[in-house]
Amino acid sequence: MSNIVMSADDVRRAVTRIAHEILERQRGGAQLVLVGLQRGGAWLADSIGAAIDAIEPAARVPVGYIDVSMHRDDIGLRPVVPGAISRIDFAVDGVTVVLVDDVLYTGRTVRAALEGINTYGRPRSVQLAVLVDRGHRELPIRPDYVGKNLPTHMDDDVRATADGVTVEGKPR
């Protein structure tokens, strides 16, 4: 059975709040870039970027996308099929990079993204924004900005889009 845990309006409000939090912590959008993790984080990075634009039009925060499949630690354990191609056409040296993903789970994708970002340069700091934190971390990674904390079972299927967030549980 499938449960709706966030509606489209809830997602929109969470995105706006995260945009405010990012700007508050950075004291404006100077030296700030957003990098969405392909593919689930790409739309969210775009949404947060648009929200930041609406709040502080002068900030002009660039948005990029990174595909982390070449940096994963489970290559060889399961078929790795790269998603969309990375596109980071701005320098990341010395700026604050906010990594953006839809669902934070084991933390392994974020670890791969941290390593991937380093092939583009050396950011001053890296932060993490997610729409849903579903727990079950396997690495010491925590988000800086969270849309919703969502306790789940490990075999639940969590889907997050701009239209809302659903959890599909196996019958127990």
Partner 1 sequence: MMKHLRSIDELGRDGLMRLLDLTHHMVEVNHRPVPKVPALRGRTVVSLFFEDSTRTRLSFETAAKRLSADTMTFSVSTSSVNKGESLRDTVETISDMGIDAFVVRHKSTGIPWQISEWTNASVVNAGDGWHQHPTQALVDCFTVREALGKERFDGLTLTIVGDIMHSRVARSNIAAFSMLGARVVLVAPPTLLPPDVSHWPVEVSYRLDDVLARTDILYMLRLQSERMSQGHVPNLREYAETYGLDAVRAAKLPPHAVLMHPGPMNRGVEMLVDPSLLPNSLIHKQVANGVAVRMAVLFDLLAGESSAAGLAQAAS
Kindly tell me which of 32 and 66 has the beta carbon lying closer to partner 1: 66
Residue 38 identity:
Q
Provide the minimum distance between the beta carbon of 94 and partner 1 in the complex, in angstroms, as a whole number.
13
Binding range to partner 1, per CB under 8 A, among 6-14, 44-52, 84-92, 142-150: 84-92
Told to check if 75 binds partner 1 by CB under 8 A, we report: yes
Kindly tell me which of 72 and 134 has the beta carbon lying closer to partner 1: 72
Provide the minimum distance between the beta carbon of 90 and partner 1 in the complex, in angstroms, as a whole number.
12
- What part of residues 114-153 is at the interface with partner 1 (CB under 8 A)? 115-116, 118-121
Told to check if 82 binds partner 1 by CB under 8 A, we report: yes
Binding range to partner 1, per CB under 8 A, among 97-105, 113-121, 136-144, 161-169: 113-121
Sign of CA dihedral 77, 152, 135, 27: positive
Binding site for partner 1 (CB under 8 A): 67, 69-71, 75-80, 82, 85-87, 115-116, 118-121
